[in-house]
Amino acid sequence: MLRLCAAALLATSATAAWPPAVRAQQPAKVPRVGWIWNGRSAGNPIEAAGFRQGLYEFGYTEGQNIVVDYRFGEGRNDRIADLAAELVQLQPDVLVALGDLTVGAVKSATTTIPVVSMSGDPVGAGVVASLARPGGNITGVSMMKGLEGLTGKRVELLKDALPKATRIGLMFNPDSPTLVRSLAQAEEVASRLGVVIRASPTRLGENLEAAIAALAREDVDGVDIEPVLPFATYPRETGELLVKYRLPAISELRQIAENGGLLSYGPNAFDATRRLAYFVDRILKGAKPADLPV
């Protein structure tokens, strides 16, 4: 017993002799990131792949020096609010939200956890105060939907590819916050080119074939597909249906062109989600979202 007490005393004395910096060292806290998107988890979607690539480039390896909790809505808008609340309960260091509806749900779920977003028009949707000075707890990447004339440009490019076209279908989600500007662009360009726009509002993936079939019955010459749900969730199926109904199409979503559409024009989703890792890294190192321009 005396030998044990002496040994314990010796160990205590040795520890006390260590430099304060050595005694204070603790295992580094592994940061936790919550990631949410309304798309599908199957097939390693480029939205997740781009983000992982960005993390790797900033020195993060999942399961080693960072933890990422992924949540996928699987194309169901009614799940997003619950999934956002679920991630908030985990108290991550940063939340990453993709898509207008998802960003809106995350904004409603927390005003304190830093959020890195990818959305169409964060200023117009009231997500941030301005691109230069976001304010609040949200920053990220804007895809500039409805702001830079991308819808109008796609209508113009489709007309260039199909010079005899007189009717162009426009597929969109009527709940999209960028809808008004996108429709205005399409109508303005169509009027200038002597083309009639046939609107095809579509909310759900199960309605995709009916919407495309309806445009085919209206004898449209081509289709512009807006880069929103449900098309962003089902790009492969959308492309295959375009082939089935023999409709040439243009979209920002490159996967649609790769699976049967004719053209793609717009921002690259892989690069955009890859860029989100930059904001995550800055926030983990102490930056505030309010000070990081979108």
Mean pLDDT, the chain, rounded, equals 85
Contact call for residues 156 and 140 (beta carbons, < 8 A)? no
Tens of pLDDT along 231-245?
888 888 999 999 999
- Domain annotation covers residue 178: yes
115 and 169 in a single domain? The answer is: no
Kindly report the number of other CB atoms within 10 A of residue 270's CB atom: 17
Pairing of strands 138-142, 94-98: unpaired
User: How many whole angstroms separate alpha carbon 211 and alpha carbon 264?
Assistant: 20
Alpha-helical runs (H) found in the chain: 2-17, 20-24, 46-57, 80-89, 100-109, 150-161, 179-193, 208-217, 235-244, 254-258, 269-284
Q: Are residues 180 and 112 in the same domain?
A: no
- CATH, residue 200: 3.40.50.2300
- pLDDT number for residue 150: 83
- On whether both 258 and 167 belong to a single domain, the answer is yes
Q: Give the Cβ contact number of residue 205 at 10 Å.
A: 18
Residue 116 falls inside a structural domain? yes
**184 and 156 in one domain?**
yes
Q: Which residue's entry shows tokens 């979209």?
A: 251
Q: Is residue 10 part of a domain?
A: no
pLDDT tens-digit map of 171-185: 998 887 777 788 888
Range of the domain at 180: 150-264
Number of domains in the chain: 2
Which residue in 180, 177, 158 sits closest to 167, CA to CA? Answer: 158
Clarify whether residues 156 and 253 are in a common domain.
yes
Section 26-44 average pLDDT? 84
Is position 121 within any domain?
yes
Domain shared by 156 and 258, yes or no = yes
In a domain, 2, yes or no: no
Q: Is residue 220 part of a domain?
A: yes
* Same domain? 106 vs 247: no
Q: Considering the domain boundaries, does residue 14 fall inside one?
A: no
Which of 83, 65, 63 lies closest to 73 in space, CA to CA?
83
139 & 273 share domain: yes
Q: Give yes or no: residues 78 and 165 share one domain.
A: no
| Tens-digit pLDDT profile for residues 63-96 | 899 999 999 988 788 899 999 999 999 999 999 9
Answer whether residue 17 is part of any domain: no
Mapping DSSP to helix (H, G, I), strand (E, B) and coil, where does residue 232 land?
coil
Looking at the structure, do residues 139 and 285 belong to the same domain, yes or no? yes
> Quick check: 117 pLDDT over 70?
yes
**C-alpha to C-alpha distances, 68 to 79, 102, 283, nearest whole angstrom:** 19, 17, 15
81 in the same domain as 155: no
